Amino acid sequence: MSKPQILSTSLVAQSRLFRIEALEMEFRDGQRATFECLRNQGDGVVMVAAVDDDALILVREYAAGFDRYELGFVKGRIDPGEMAPQTAARELGEEIGFEPGSLELLRGVTTSPGYSDFTTYLFIASGLRPCPQEGGDEIEPLEQVRWPLGRIGALYDHPEVSDARTLFLLHLLERRLAAE
């Protein structure tokens, strides 16, 4: 099946974090349509499942989209010039004060591929060693939550866990732990 062609791209709106573009598309049958796309600045984000002995280290962070707290994994934006594993190691230090002995990229996932080019890279970090926690871009210190590995299953139904990326990383982590 031949792909639709992008005839032109124009800027609709730009803010500090977001850039909205309009794509003029032509489909195989000659039909044309305009698609709106959201371009996040930068190269995406990382999300890191931090495994410390028999526990996960989670963070509880204010989620402005819903005006409530969300419980999830360490995460953060890839800075210009960084590779995703560097971001993962930096965020572990900034958010929970650990450096990883081992850091494994599991895969990238998207969130709304129909209109956004945003990619999240999912990692597992283990062999954690304490390191000085140097402030990142957090406004308030993040609350850390140690969650026993034996109770991972309960996180799927935790009222503060809603992000599909977190939920799928839990699945990958469970599968990994079962295989070990």
Residue closer to a copy of itself (CB basis): 82 or 160: 160
Q: What is the distance between the terminal CA atoms of the chain, rounded to a whole angstrom?
A: 41
Alpha-carbon span 40 to 51, nearest angstrom:
29
Confirm or reject binding of residue 27 to a copy of itself (CB under 8 A): yes
Tokens 């005006």 found at: 67
Select from 8-16, 79-87, 96-104, 127-135 the region that touches a copy of itself (CB under 8 A).
8-16
Whether residue 114 contacts residue 36, with contact meaning beta carbons closer than 8 Å, is answered with no
Applying CB under 8 A, among 68, 129, 146, 151 the residue interacting with a copy of itself is 68
Applying CB under 8 A, among 67, 81, 135, 178 the residue interacting with a copy of itself is 67
Confirm or reject binding of residue 28 to a copy of itself (CB under 8 A): yes
Confirm or reject binding of residue 104 to a copy of itself (CB under 8 A): no
Alpha-carbon span 9 to 117, nearest angstrom:
14
Nearest approach in angstroms of CB 102 to a copy of itself is: 22
Tokens 């062999």 found at: 127
Whether residue 45 contacts residue 76, with contact meaning beta carbons closer than 8 Å, is answered with yes
Confirm or reject binding of residue 35 to a copy of itself (CB under 8 A): yes
Confirm or reject binding of residue 109 to a copy of itself (CB under 8 A): yes
Alpha-carbon span 173 to 176, nearest angstrom:
5
* Identity of the amino acid at 83: M
Applying CB under 8 A, among 86, 118, 147, 158 the residue interacting with a copy of itself is 118
Site string for a copy of itself, 76-95 (x = CB under 8 A): --------------------
State whether residue 87 is helix, strand or coil.
helix
Contacts of range 15-22, beta carbons closer than 8 Å, 24 or more positions apart: 17/41
- Binding residues (CB under 8 A) for a copy of itself: these are 1, 3-4, 6, 12-18, 20, 22-23, 25, 27-29, 31, 33, 35-38, 60-70, 108-118, 120, 139-140, 143, 162-165, 167-168, 171
